[in-house]
Amino acid sequence: MRIAIDAMGGDNAPEVTVEGGLAAAAEWKDTEIVLVGDQSRIEPLLEGKQVPANLTIRHASEVIDAEDEPVRAVRRKKDSSMVVAGRMVKEQEAHAMISAGNTGALMTTGLLVVGRMEGIERPALAPMIPTLDDLGVLALDLGANMDAKPEHLAQYAQMGSLYRQKVHNIAEPRVGLLNVGTEAGKGNELTKLAYPLLEQLPIRFVGNVEARDVLTGNCDVLVCDGFAGNILLKAMEGTAGAVFSLLKEQFTKSLKTKLAAAMLMPELRGLKGKLDYTEHGGAPLLGLGGLVVKSHGSADANAVKNAVRQARIALQNRLVESISKEISGK
């Protein structure tokens, strides 16, 4: 199989994308890794390294930046590393693409370059949210579309369930609906209408899940519209961050607290890592005609390599074909 990496995407590109690509190519000899990007910047990074035969470069002269307006950038920068990687997937020159670049632009590349899967109205971005049991929950949609209709939520549920089956090997993933109460009649217009649709699907629907229970990991897939998902994720991130900075403030108050905090440092570090959602690998963009994985903007080489690992598992288990079969019967 062949996986294209947008070598120019992300805060630390191309250094970490090249390093991650090298590591992936060295580990998985059956996988061709194509680094897509500016040859003159990629090649020096390979100098003096052991370059495996299954690692190649595809030159692309342009770069989409974090500040670029997504739709305009994708339309105009036709030779950008991201768009070229997307075109490779579209034209089946690559089986998957990975990018740590501009999220909006990647979603636009998915829609306009790779293209939607037949029968899917809205592709969804599906990152893992960390949970206390360390298993995480796949949440979708997390920002590909702000508004959603009940039918979209039903498709998210199916796609998320298949992803957890195929990529994470969970036989019957528990699918929950993000809502304001656990009872069936609760919610806004959207979730009230989505509930009966989810009940009818061939998935293991476990009902409504309240925002305060997400961290306890009571479902494997959490379905929500992009707006609510963003509020959820950022509230969790902001609160965890705030608590840790409060702790730091309290713990540096006096010699006594500093001493005690030093004794607890290993435990505190482990705790922070537990709630760091950047550590949870790449987020697939589900519902496209090919496999697209979003790596975090601040991804390091290891995160890039992990995204390749994820893409390989998805490809080996024919994720895209399974979703297509489930949704459109084809």
Rounded Cα–Cα distance for residues 127 and 137 (Å): 8
Query: Counting contacts by CB under 8 A, is residue 92 touching a second copy?
Result: no
In one-letter notation, the amino acid at residue 56 is T
Query: Counting contacts by CB under 8 A, is residue 49 touching a second copy?
Result: no
Sheet holding 204-210, edge to edge: 128-129, 137-140, 221-223, 174-179, 204-210
Min dist. Cβ of residue 16 to a second copy (A): 25
Query: Counting contacts by CB under 8 A, is residue 67 touching a second copy?
Result: no
Query: Counting contacts by CB under 8 A, is residue 259 touching a second copy?
Result: yes
Identify the residue among 11, 65, 260, 318 touching a second copy (CB under 8 A). 260
Query: Counting contacts by CB under 8 A, is residue 257 touching a second copy?
Result: yes
- Which candidate, 27, 247, 14, 235, places its Cα nearest to that of 139? 235
Give the DSSP H or E segment for 141. none
Min dist. Cβ of residue 193 to a second copy (A): 12
Identify the residue among 27, 134, 180, 196 touching a second copy (CB under 8 A). 180
Query: CB neighbours of 212 closer than 8 A, spacing ≥ 6?
Result: none
Q: Which is nearer to a second copy, 98 or 153 (CB)?
A: 153
Question: Which residues from 227-246 bind a second copy, rule CB under 8 A?
Answer: 227-228, 230-244, 246
Query: Counting contacts by CB under 8 A, is residue 135 touching a second copy?
Result: no
Q: Are 58 and 88 in contact (CB under 8 A)?
A: yes
Query: Counting contacts by CB under 8 A, is residue 274 touching a second copy?
Result: yes
Rounded Cα–Cα distance for residues 235 and 232 (Å): 5
Q: Which is nearer to a second copy, 135 or 242 (CB)?
A: 242
Binding-residue total with a second copy (CB under 8 A) = 54
Q: Are 52 and 25 in contact (CB under 8 A)?
A: yes
Identify the residue among 42, 97, 138, 178 touching a second copy (CB under 8 A). 178
Query: Counting contacts by CB under 8 A, is residue 138 touching a second copy?
Result: no
Torsion of CA 16, 19, 24, 29, to 10 degrees: 150
Q: Which is nearer to a second copy, 252 or 328 (CB)?
A: 252
DSSP string of 269-313, one letter each residue? HHHHHHT-GGGG--EEEETBSSEEEEPPTT--HHHHHHHHHHHHH
Chain contacts with a second copy (rule: CB under 8 A): 132, 143, 146-147, 178, 180, 187-189, 191, 210-216, 225-228, 230-244, 246-247, 250-251, 253, 256-257, 259-261, 263-264, 267-268, 270-271, 274-275
